Structure 1
Amino acid sequence: MDMMPFSIDFSYMQRVVILLCVVVCTFKITSLLMKRSNMVRHLKSFPGPPAHWFFGHALELKRDGTEFEKTLAWGVTYPFAFPVWFGPFLSILNIHHPDYVKTLLSSTEPKDDIAYKFLMPWIGDGLLVSSGQKWFNRRRLLTPGFHYKILKPYVKLMADCSKLMLDKWEGYSKTNKLFEVFGPVSLMSLDNIMRCAFSNNSNCQNEGGTNMYIKAVYELSDLINMRIRVFPYHSDFIFYLSPHGFRFRRACRVAHRHTEEVIRKRKEALMEEAELERIQAKRNLDFLDILLCARDEDHKALSDEAIRAEVDTFMFEGHDTTASSISFLIYSLASHPQHQKICREEILQVLGDRETLDWDDLNRIPYTTMCIKESLRLYPAVPGISRKLTKPMTFFDGRSMPEGSYIGVGVYSHHRNNTVWENPQVFDPLRFLPENVSKRHPHAFLPFSAGPRNCIGQNFAMNEMKVVIAQTLRRYQLMADPARPPKVAARLVLCSLNGIYIKIKPL
């Protein structure tokens, strides 16, 4: 019996595929248009600056060092909140008033699933990006790592790291030339994290760009910044097929291999010491000890993947943010010699014949602490915070946003809101005198966020800033060039597009 030849009408199949593509695209476009329509309807009670239908506000927020000027101007017109559109389908309600901020940050709403998700291939689902019960349990487990008994021995390590940086500045003190501070401060901050949190003497301040792990950390930060800015790279498919995606995956592998090796060596060292008390009897505890010895309510240890996520998260959060804060603090004091002089006199009085602060000295420099806080007000290391609502939220004035909305706190503009701060552009440390603080809204000042999801490492960061600035002012006079102010911009942290330049003189 002859078999009928099997044939396929490819033209028919092609028509079916095309029809399916049209249906899917139509459904997707209709869904996006409905989403935009819902956003517009819910945002009617929040007037804001006019936006282009397709580009939104992207044409006005050019990331050339002027975007904060634009948002500050909008904030004057809309003093509580205003929507910012990113393209035709995504809008974030930007809030910058303490009463609005209190409502959002007093909740446990999760971080948004836009920018933060780009960090996850590197730092995993750690404390920064996790949510719900997982975040709550992890926060509880990690809190002991920031107890004062753990932080106290770090002061000497911080002093050693900053001394190494200042020694390298000796040549600049003799030339009277401008030099850029963010680079060396960033290396110093990374060195400090490695020594304090992981008892790892990285030698990164000497090795600089030759250390593979250090290069990977910097490359990951740069690539994530770029991915946030380049809209097509928001697609995982497009980004991973690109040369930048290849570099990102390679850098992730380098960073993860380094982290895993640090964890493996510490696990071997802890094999015979199962309890923190026994370890502490031999040496100072660090963040990694706390992670490895942590147990949940079922007495189970964290998985290797969870430990790596928290180590990578702490490397990211504790490095760039502190480097930004210290760099802008140095610039602030260089630009205001009258305040620098008072800080130096206070520090020298506390130090006496000693070179560095010790633990008990950290609370004996109130004017310097006020200057640090004022610098953090003007230059918050994290210039914005964003959340995605899991349930409707109503603000103090009765206006509300529905579930699924994105709400961002513009910390930079919030700290310069002239309805909250008098002469907000002026550097005035006396704002933080106790009697002045007591008159302000508790959510007016947010350098470390607020509420249950505030920064777990804020005491660590403040201690490091005090130690570094005390040693710096003891050795050098700082001077800024008025003709070269920083062009402030938001990346993963607050930075300057043209660097942060100062001159120094030896004392």
Structure 2
Amino acid sequence: MSAAIAPKDMVFYSLLKPWLGDGLLLSAGDKWSSHRRMLTPAFHFNILKPYVKIFNYSTNVMHAKWKRLVSEGSTHLDMFEHISLMTLDSLQKCVFSFDSNCQEKPSEYIAAILELSALVAKRHQQILHMDFLYYLTPDGQRFRRACRLVHNFTDAVIQERRRTLPVQGVDDFLMTKAKSKTLDFIDVLLLSKDEDGKQLSDKDIRAEADTFMFEGHDTTASGLSWVLFNLAKHPEYQERCRQEVQELLRDREPQEIEWDDLAKLPFLTMCIKESLRLHPPVTVISRCCTQDIVLSDGRVIPKGVTCLISIFGTHHNPSVWPDPEVYNPLRFDPENIKERSPLAFIPFSAGPRNCIGQAFAMSEMKVVLALTLLRFRVLPHEEEPRRKPELILRAEGGLWLRVEPLSARPQ
């Protein structure tokens, strides 16, 4: 259905409003339509290309930390903990051109984002939705404090960027930056104009930047953690991915993934997709019907009903996915997807409100997974993790895996 007929149900999403404002995730109607059109160029491949360097760099920092930990005797690592910091590190560079070194030393801003995500998940489970009561609790006060810190950081970057604009004029300044290939998300938002030439306000830019930081770190960290888990359990697929990457980077120095490489890793891509099917980072989405909706079999969803669409359930439907609990990347072989409905696989949702950042997320996942398998063997932990759906699909008590560094070059 169109976004106007089946808008997002705000019961849950309203908990994010004080933090994320009217960004793409939470806005509706004309404002959402206008912003979606204005933001689409921010995810064009010409903007995404330079980000691949950032993905490589942040992954290298994470791997250096892993090697140090292994040398000190820590071979069991919580993937969620390490990969979340790495994706936040990447995002801060892609969104703000800011390097907090958050993987190596504490960052107030990064700690605030992690705290906000945890507090929203906790509040949702407690069903304490009345704001005035929530803000009287210790959690509510922590939420307010973290919100203030995140907003102050984003506002400061926007104001600093605005201060440098009038000297040359907005368009000249941004076009100069575009030519030097250093356009970040804030630059693109400052450059954005609607059909009438109207620009985004500072408040709108803050909402979109904060939304991207929130949506971009947790979901990608979940996707990467679970694909490493699935490959740890299936060493034959892990080895096939590793050989694909080694073949691609043979005799290349330095060994890093480039933009053009992303299309040359077909089996690794199939492994990521099958993991997103089995363990979708977002397990459910909700829509509220503003009018009666007639289904193809004649049944009617009445106006006013809130529908929960289970992405997890769709991905585990045995009539579409035989043996749905089995991890089998060959389901995504080009020959096998021909007869399958495009709506059978919806890790990034579908329709007009699908994830605008899915190309960004897939690019980052491919870079991180390729480099990780090139340098490490990933092995299962003794205990099988229990899936824990929160804001994103986590594992109870963390997702622990064993990592073994590989020699720099295959012998």
The answer to whether the superposition gives a TM-score over 0.5 is yes
**2:385 match:** 486
CA contact (8 A) 1:488 1:496 kept: yes
The Cα of 1:268 is off from its aligned counterpart by 2.1
Count of residues paired in the alignment:
400
**Which secondary structure does the structure 1 equivalent of 2:342 belong to?**
coil
Tell me what 1:433 maps to. 333
Native 8 Å contact 1:108 1:453 kept in 2: no
Q: Deviations over 1:290-315 (max 9, x none)?
A: 11111122222111111111011111
How far residue 142 of structure 1 moved from its aligned partner, in angstroms, is 0.2
Asked if the contact 1:107/1:452 (under 8 Å) is kept, the reply is no
Q: Does 1:504 align with 2:400?
A: no
CA contact 2:292–2:302 (8 Å) conserved in 1: yes
Pairwise CA RMSD of aligned residues? 1.5
Structure 1 segment 254-273 matched on structure 2, within 5 A? 254-271=149-166, 272-273=168-169
Which of 154, 166, 182 is the matching residue for 2:51?
154
Distance 1:108 1:450 in 2: 15
Partner of 2:308: helix, strand, or coil?
A: strand
Aligned in 2, Cα 1:366/1:283: closer, same or farther, shift over 3 Å? closer
Contact 1:172/1:504, CA 8 A, preserved across alignment: no
Relative distance call for 1:487 and 1:273 in structure 2 (3 A) is: farther
TM-score scaled by length of structure 1: 0.77
Alignment of 1:204 onto 2:102: yes
Q: Match for 1:364 among 249, 261, 264? A: 264
Give 2:257's aligned amino acid. Answer: L
User: What does the per-residue CA deviation read over 1:76-96, in whole Å, with 9 as the maximum and x for residues that have no partner?
Assistant: xxxxxxxxxxxxxxxxxxxxx
Find the counterpart in structure 1 of residue 11 from structure 2.
114
Matched with 2:366 is 466
Aligned partner of 1:178 in structure 2 is 76
Deviation at 1:322, TM superposition (A): 0.8
Residues 414, 219 of structure 1: CA spacing in aligned structure 2 closer, same or farther, 3 A cutoff?
same
Corresponding residue for residue 243 of structure 1: 138
CA distance in 2 between partners of 1:170 and 1:270 (Å):
43
For residue 120 of structure 2, the aligned residue among 224, 230, 242 is 224
Gaps of 5+ in 2: 407-411
Partner of 2:111: 215
SS of the residue aligned with 1:137? Answer: helix
Distance in 2, matches of 1:323 and 1:329, equals: 10
Deviations 1:28-62 (A, max 9, x none): xxxxxxxxxxxxxxxxxxxxxxxxxxxxxxxxxxx
Q: Could you tell me which residue of structure 1 aligns to residue 248 of structure 2?
A: 350
Per the normalisation by structure 2, the TM-score is: 0.94
Rounded Cα–Cα distance in structure 1 between residues aligned with 2:385 and 2:182: 39
How much has 1:172 moved relative to structure 2? Answer: 4.2
Q: Which residue of 1 aligns with 2:40?
A: 143
Q: CA deviation at 1:277?
A: 2.5
- CA offsets per residue over residues 149-205 of structure 1, 9 Å max, x none? 000111111000001001100034443732211101000000001111221112111
Letter paired with 1:116:
Y
Residue equivalent to 1:339? 237
Note closer, same or farther for the CA distance 1:420–1:283 as it changes in structure 2 (3 Å cut): closer
Deviation at 1:457, TM superposition (A): 0.3
Q: Is the 1:176–1:504 Cα contact (8 Å) retained in structure 2? A: no
Amino acid at match of 2:258: D
Residues 1:117 and 1:248: Cα distance change in structure 2 (over 3 Å): same
CA pair 108-366 structure 1, distance change in 2 beyond 3 A: farther
- Is the Cα–Cα contact under 8 Å of residues 378 and 415 in structure 1 kept in the other structure? yes
Out of 292, 298, 302, the residue aligned to residue 200 of structure 2 is: 302
Match of 1:132 among 12, 29, 33: 29
Q: Quick one: distance in 1 between partners of 2:354 and 2:165?
A: 31
- 1:206 match: secondary structure: coil
Which stretch of structure 1 is more off in the superposition, 490-499 or 165-174?
165-174
Q: Is the 8 A contact 1:356 1:470 kept in 2?
A: no
> Amino acid of the residue matched to residue 307 of structure 2?
I
Match of 1:192 in 2: 90
8 A contact 2:50–2:181 mirrored in 1 = no
Q: Deviations over 1:422-471 (max 9, x none)?
A: 11100000000111111111100011011111100000000000000111
Deviations 1:307-351 (A, max 9, x none): 111011111111111111111111111111000000000001001
Contiguous gaps of at least 5 residues in structure 1: 1-103
Q: CA deviation at 1:246?
A: 1.2
- Structure 1, residues 466-499: CA drift from partner, whole Å, max 9, x if none? 0001110110111002x31111111111111121
Residues 110 and 129 in structure 1, CA contact (< 8 A), matched pair in contact too: no
- 1:475: which partner in 2? 375
C-alpha distance in structure 1 between counterparts of 2:225 and 2:204, whole Å: 32
Confirm or deny that 1:324 pairs with 2:222: yes
Of residues 183, 188, 203 in structure 2, which corresponds to 1:290? 188
Specify the alignment match of 1:397 in structure 2.
Answer: 297
Separation in 2 of the partners of 1:157 and 1:248?
A: 30
Aligned mates of 2:91, 2:222 — CA distance in 1? 14
Shift of 1:108: 5.7
Find the residue that maps to 2:316 and give its secondary structure. Answer: coil
Q: 1:426 to 1:305 in 2, by over 3 A?
A: same
Spell out the pairing of 1:380-395 with structure 2 (5 A cutoff). 380-395=280-295
SS in 1 for 2:344: coil
User: Which residue does 2:409 correspond to in 1?
Assistant: none
Please state whether the residue corresponding to 1:114 is helix, strand or coil. Answer: helix
Alignment of 1:24-63 (within 5 A): none
- Taking the aligned partners of 2:239 and 2:152, their CA distance within structure 1 comes to 46
